[in-house]
Structure formats: C-alpha cells, structure tokens
Structure 1
Amino acid sequence: MRHSAVVALIRAAHPAPCAVVAAVAGGLAALTGRAPGGVLLVVTAVLAGQLSVGWLNDLVDAERDAAADRSGKPLAAGEIPAGSVRVAIGCAAAAAVLLSLPSGLPAAVAHTAALVSAWYYDLDGKSRPWSVLPYAVSFGLLPVFVLWGGARPVPWWLVLAAVLLGSAAHFANALPDLRDDLAAGVRGLPHRLGRPGSTAAAAVLVLAASAVLVLAPGRVTPASWTMLALTALVLVAGGLLARRSGSRAAFHAVLVVAVLDVLLLLARGG
C-alpha cells in the first residue's frame, strides 16, 4: 500500500479519539498494578477495537460524507478504496478480540460486548432515538474490561462516570454535523434535541462524570477540587471554540476531560 494510502487509512480511523480511549484504558490498567507488558496489552487491544469502530463509521457514512462535501474524510474523497477499509475493519476487530483474551474470558467478553455496541451504533444506532445508549454501554464496559482483566472489583461509581462521559461524548460529537445529518435523514437523539439541547446535555453529563469521580469514592482532596475546576475551564474553552461552524472543539474537550479524570484517579492512587 502506498504511503499516501496508509496515511489516508489512519486518518479515516479517527486517530485522536482512538488514541485517547486507548490511553484512558492504559491509565486504568496501570491502577490495577499490572506490569508494563500487561498495560501495553490492554492499550493495544483497546486501540485495535477503536480503529475498527472508526473505520466502520467512515465506511457506513461515506456516501453521506461525500454528499455533504465534508473535508477530512479520506474514504468519501476517494483517497482510499472501500475494499481496503473493509479488510482493515476485519483485521482490527479480530485483533481486538484476540488481544483481549489474555485478560481472561470475562474481561474479553466485556470488551467484545463494548465493541458490538459501538459497531451497532455505526451500522444503525446513530439514526435511532436511543442513539446515546450504544455510547453509554461501550464506555461503561471499558472499566469493566480493564479491571476484570486485572482481577480487581469494579466500583459502581467508576462505571457510572464512564457512562456519563460516553453519553457526553455522543452529544458533543454530533454537534458539528447536526444540519448535514438531518438533511441526510439521520434522526438520532442529538438531532431531536437540537443544538441547544445537545450542547446542554454534553456539558451537564461531563460535569456530572467528573463530580462522581471526585465525590463518590469518599476521599475528597484539594487535588480533586482542582481537577474539577480544570474540567470546568476545559468545558468553557471547548464551548467557546465550538461556536465556530463545524468545530469539534466540544468533542475534543470531552476527550481532554476523560484524560484529566484518569489523571485524578492516578494521583489518588486509584
């Protein structure tokens, strides 16, 4: 495959969200006390799964992206053939499942279920009134996969925070494309709520996720409140930048908050 095609394939996978989700999983794995090799195994399994989700998303949306003349979509622009993307999806999905098995069968099942939920969103769920549910399920299962793989119990508040963050990411990610999606017949929950409702939902959900991580474990420290304040600042900055047409600043702000939340957990020793 030519170098330009490889670059286009990487771009089509939504590399930034893939990297952030894999890094978050790696941070959680480190909290379980795994050796570096074990942490790397978790990161690669999650990264492979996220690549499959990103590629499937662009493959399914290729015609809509082309009709909307969306820049930065290599598949819609014809920079890479659909057949290559299909092969990449299959390889990445298989790798994600196989790389999950060393974490144990229950953990591998949890990760596979998270991926099935994400693939369902790509294939059909994004146009449904319950479009937020696949995001909530997939994000909520991520700490389950990581902690079960490290033979650790899964705190309810960690799963709740992940569900809230995933739900916030859904609303924030949909914001830039609401108008084009509606014109193409996509009617997910953000499209039904509209821009004001989706913006408010994303902000409330991500703040709630951070509040859960700060308050639920019962060990509130000055560092916790500092991290919560940083979360609010990131959201304000993301909200201001997101006022530009087509900006994905709100979605990127949610990703930054996810990293901050993991850093908070690391600073508190889990």
Structure 2
Amino acid sequence: MANKPLSLLLASHPGPTAAVTVIATGLGIGLGYPPARLLVLAVAILLGQLSIGWSNDWLDAARDRSVLRADKPAARGDIPVHVVRASAFVAVATALLATVVLGWAALAAHAVAIAGGWAYNLGLKRTAFSFVPFAVSFGLLPAIATLGQEHPAWPAPWVLVAGALLGVAAHITNVLPDLADDARTGISGMPHRLGARRSGVLAFGCLAVATALVAFGPGLPVRPLLVAGLAIGLAAAVTGVVLVLRRSPTRLLMQLIMTCAIVDVAMLALAGQSITV
C-alpha cells in the first residue's frame, strides 16, 4: 500500500517547491528580515508553492493517467484525487492568511503570483502564452520579499526583469522532457510550438541575461563575488545549450535553472546588494 503522506508530498512537485522557497528565504535574508518575519515569509511562500503543485497534479490526473506518468502519485492511484484537490485549496488559503502578517502590499503581490501558477494549471499551459504565468509569478517573487519588509519598498526594475526571465527559463525546461506526452494529450504551449531545440536555447539565453542583470544591474558596483556568480550562470547556460543540442531533454535542465537562481540570490545576499529602488 502506498504511503499517503509521502504520496501527497510527491504530488506537490517538491523539487521546484523547495527551490522557490529557498530563493524567497534567501531574498529575505539579504533584506535583513528578523528571524520571526523570515519564518513567516518562508512558510507563506512554501504554502503557495504547495498549492500550485497540488493543483497541477489534481487538474492533470486524468491526462497523466492516459500517458502512464509513473512520477505522478494521483495518476498512479497512490492517493485519491479529491485529497490532492482539497490540499491545494487549504494550502492556498493558509498561504494568503500567512502573508497578511507581511502586509497588504506583500499579500497582493503573493496573491497575483499564486494566481499565475493556478492560471497555468487551469488552461494557459495549452496556449502560446504558457510562459506568461511563470514570467509574472517569478517576476513578483522578489516583490513579495521587498514589500513584506517592515518598511515596504518596490524592487528595482532590473530585479523584476531578472525574475521574469528566470521564470520563462524554468517554464521551458520544466516542459521539455514532456513534449511527446503533452502532444498526445492536446497540450501546445510556447515551448511545444517552438520545438525542443529552439525553446531550450531560449531558456538558457534567458538564464544568461538574468544572471548578467544580477551581476551588473544598473547602479550596481562591480564586485568579485558577483562576477563569480556571473561565471557560474554563464557556465550553466553553456552547459544547458550543449545538453539541449546533443541529447533528449531531462529534468537536469530545470535543475540547472533553479540552482542558478539560488546562486544568483545567494550572491546578492552575500555581496550586500540592495534590490530595492
């Protein structure tokens, strides 16, 4: 018999969920959040990401079952779909309630970011605009952190752009391994229309530009730590392009993107760079 708590955890897309939570927590550390407020930020983001992951597995259960997705607990029958659905709604409600502690501006930004993830799951993934929810949600992630400070502030424009570019890269690399299964079930998002190679190159181009913005954003002093971060990001981008051109896409591509996003945030925090206007 399947372990239902473990199956529910696996249905939440734990890898991306954990990565986004770490990124938000890193932003909070860089902004000097007090420990209690940092914990609230981390929990709120975690719950929001859990809701997006669970809504994805709930809404896609029948489609995943039809293509025999072995990595989807709801599709395998390891956990009832109604449990995953209920968990998604509970998680989104508690995520928003937790964000209230950070202020109404942070709540508004987080609500839009979560709505972007749900909109993707509810149907935008089938359109040429499938990248938009990722661009919006990742672009707003730094805003949730900066607006959630005791003295709220908007992030600098280059920070929003870097986040949006990382979101587009994450979307593409998340979809690439599933192009064949998606085609069989009527999914035709932006990466499907561009094809694996072109969209893969686009993803790692977005990563390179985002990392360059983090290292050399307008008004930022040139610091060795940020140059090192840029080198890591560019190396990952080149590696990603080579993998896209030479072999079938795997989950390693998205892992590269999310790892570099965490590195970017760590570099900003360690270098003491201000990400607010």
TM-score with structure 1 setting the length: 0.95
CA contact (8 A) 2:24 2:145 kept: yes
Q: CA RMSD in A?
A: 1.6
Per the alignment, residue 171 of structure 1 pairs with: 172
**Displacement after TM superposition at 1:153 (Å):** 3.4
- Partner residue of 2:222 out of 220, 225, 244: 220
**Displacement after TM superposition at 1:241 (Å):** 5.6
**Displacement after TM superposition at 1:72 (Å):** 1.3
- 1:226 match: secondary structure: helix
Instruction: Name the count of aligned residue pairs.
Output: 269
Per the alignment, residue 28 of structure 1 pairs with: 27
C-alpha distance after superposition, 1:126-157 (max 9, x if no partner):
00111100100111111111101112331111
**Displacement after TM superposition at 1:71 (Å):** 1.8
**Displacement after TM superposition at 1:234 (Å):** 2.8
- Supply the distance in 2 between the matched residues of 1:229 and 1:31 (Cα, whole angstroms): 21
Q: How does 1:15-164 map to 2 (within 5 A)?
A: 15-150=14-149, 151-164=152-165
- Supply the distance in 2 between the matched residues of 1:122 and 1:266 (Cα, whole angstroms): 32
Per the alignment, residue 195 of structure 1 pairs with: 196
- 1:75 match: secondary structure: helix
Counterpart amino acid of residue 167 in structure 2: G
Per the alignment, residue 231 of structure 1 pairs with: 233
CA contact (8 A) 2:204 2:238 kept: no
TM-score with structure 2 setting the length: 0.93
Counterpart amino acid of residue 225 in structure 1: V
C-alpha distance after superposition, 1:187-243 (max 9, x if no partner):
110100000111111010011100111111421122222111111233344555666
| Alignment pair present for 1:252 and 2:255 | yes
- 1:131 match: secondary structure: coil
C-alpha distance after superposition, 1:234-269 (max 9, x if no partner):
334455566654621111100001100001101210
- Supply the distance in 2 between the matched residues of 1:57 and 1:220 (Cα, whole angstroms): 41
Of 217-226 and 76-85, more deviation after overlay is shown by 217-226
C-alpha distance after superposition, 1:91-149 (max 9, x if no partner):
10011100000111111011001111110001111001111001001111111111011
- 1:206 match: secondary structure: helix
- Can you give the 5+ residue segments of structure 1 that lack an aligned partner in the other structure? none
Distance 1:3 1:43, change over 3 A: farther
CA contact (8 A) 1:235 1:250 kept: no
Per the alignment, residue 272 of structure 2 pairs with: 269
CA contact (8 A) 2:174 2:251 kept: yes
Percent identity (aligned): 38
Distance 1:64 1:244, change over 3 A: farther
